[in-house]
Amino acid sequence: MVSTIAILSAAGLSLFLVWTLLRPGLPQIGSLEDWEAKRHEVDLAVLRILIDPGEERYLRSLFSPPEYRRMMRRRLTLALNSLDLIGENAAMLMKLGQLAKAGANPALAQEADELSHGALRLRVNLMLVEPYLRVKWLFPGWTLSVPAFEMPYEELLSYLNRLRQQQRWELSQALRAG
Amino acid sequence: MSLSQLAPSVLWFVPLVLQVVIAVVMACRGLIRVFPVFFIYTVLVASRDAILLLFPNSENRAYSYVFWWGDAIAILLSLGVVVEILQHLFRPYASLRIVFAAVWILAAIAAICVLTVLALKSPKGVANVFESIILVERTARVLQVCLLIFLISLMSRLGLVWQHYSVGIAAGFGVYAALDLVLLELRAHLHSIADATFVVLGSAAYNLAAITWAFYFLKPRAESPIQSLPSNDLAKWNDALREQVKKWYRR
């Protein structure tokens, strides 16, 4: 009976995961115009405050335990929503990296590789941070610190800027050449 | 011809035709080098089904050999396809390969533990060869489903859902392996469905997988490479982030 339950659970989980894989979760993106239209604005200052341990300590001293727990859950829900948006941005940038790589420009392809790599690293970090915040949502009194995840995101954005600068340089060279 | 007679024939022919078309499309698009194991799997299953059509009845001994040996090889290849997709997905990310290799080994150990428990819990002294084969197939499917759960979780969590063909292959196998596993459990362990129903539902599950693969392989790809990059406010975003990182490390 135990093995039957385990097998049916594994099969159910597999079907659920296929559904999550196939459902249109991420925005369709086929060009940079799509990226401009569909990327999410994330206020990182707000996010940083939401998961700041100092802010947590301050709130703990200010509110009663039930109020503190309620307040923390609201803050963590907002933080998780922001992380979802950052994750979607990273996934869209990975797609842009793929599209850039499909072109004939080898320099651009190399930059696209770096962009994809940076986006993947960010997603790996999100995989570590999100479960932590979800556990924290369940147990708001837990006092472990959040791992730093901003660095890969910063690198990711700088990759994109370098990619853009490369394109601009090539465009200006082409214009000069007539 | 009644519906009950027609349904098995349709369920037999649809994946056969679809897989021949998928193999041709893969050859035309140069995808054989990208997914060689999946290509071999596709060709093998389609060939086996075509050969089986030549036999006048399924009582034939040769029919059984072709069917069951083909099935065993197909299961081994389908396990290979999962590994192939994983390698394909993470090939560009050299620095992450060690991490994923470690997770992969852990997943394999977990799957082997599950298989051992299943082997110990399986009913002893099975009635006939058919039952034994079904139990072995069930064990292999458990391994496949474990690997697919790991693979699809990684694809979803890491945002690798843009990998067009990999998603299609993984989704097709995910559906088929899960449904087949449920059927094998119902048939071999719980004995709650008849052989004829088991065969028809198994074919229906495989049809779903073949349709999923066909959708991904036959759908035209209208994407064009990026030619220029627009202006955006990412620099501001970048500055804000740098500031936060500095604060974080100071603290």
Average pLDDT over residues A89-107: 78
Q: Find the length of chain A.
A: 178
Left (φ > 0), alpha (ψ -120 to 50) or beta: where does B141 sit? Answer: alpha
In chain B, the percentage of residues whose pLDDT exceeds 70 is 71
Residue of A nearest to B172 (CA): A18
Distance CA B149, CA B170 (A): 10
Tell me, what DSSP letter sits at residue B223?
-
Q: Which residues on chain A are in Cβ contact (under 8 Å) with B221?
A: none
Cβ contact, residue pair A3, B155, below 8 Å: no
Give the pLDDT score at B106. 74
pLDDT at B249 over 50: no
- Of the pLDDT bands very low, low, confident and very high (cuts 50, 70, 90), residue B11 is confident
Residue B135 touches chain A, beta carbons under 8 Å: no
pLDDT at B118: 65
> Is this complex's ipTM strictly greater than 0.90?
no
Lowest model confidence (mean pLDDT) among A68-82, A116-130, A159-173, B42-56:
A159-173
> Residues 76..115 of B with a Cβ closer than 8 Å to A: which?
92-93, 95-96, 99, 114
- Which chain B residues have a beta carbon less than 8 Å from that of A94? 159-160, 162
pLDDT tens sequence across B149-168 = 887 887 777 777 666 788 88
Region B82-86: mean pLDDT is: 84
Provide mean pLDDT across the span A41-64.
82
> Would the pLDDT of B250 be above 60?
no
C-alpha count within 13 angstroms, C-beta hemisphere, residue A84: 10
Residue A163 clears pLDDT 70, i.e. is over it: no
* B180-236 tens-digit pLDDT: 888 888 877 777 788 778 888 888 999 999 999 998 888 876 667 766 544 444 444
Based on DSSP, count helices (H) and strands (E) in chain B, helices before strands. 8, 0
Q: Report the residue of A1, A3, A51 to disrupt the B interface, i.e. the one with the largest count of B CBs within 10 Å.
A: A3
pLDDT above 90 (res B43): yes
Q: Which of A148-157, A163-172, B240-249 has the lowest mean pLDDT?
A: B240-249
Q: Are B31 and B165 in contact, with CB atoms under 8 Å apart? A: yes
More confident residue, B34 or A145: B34
Chain B neighbors of A11, CB-CB under 8 A: 145, 177-179, 181-182, 185
Residue B146 has pLDDT above 70, yes or no: yes
How many CA atoms lie within 13 Å of B60's alpha carbon, on the beta-carbon side? 13
Nearest chain B residue to A8 by CA distance is B182
Q: What is the 3-state secondary structure (H, E, C) of B114-138?
A: HHHHHHHHCCCCCCCHHHHHHHHHH
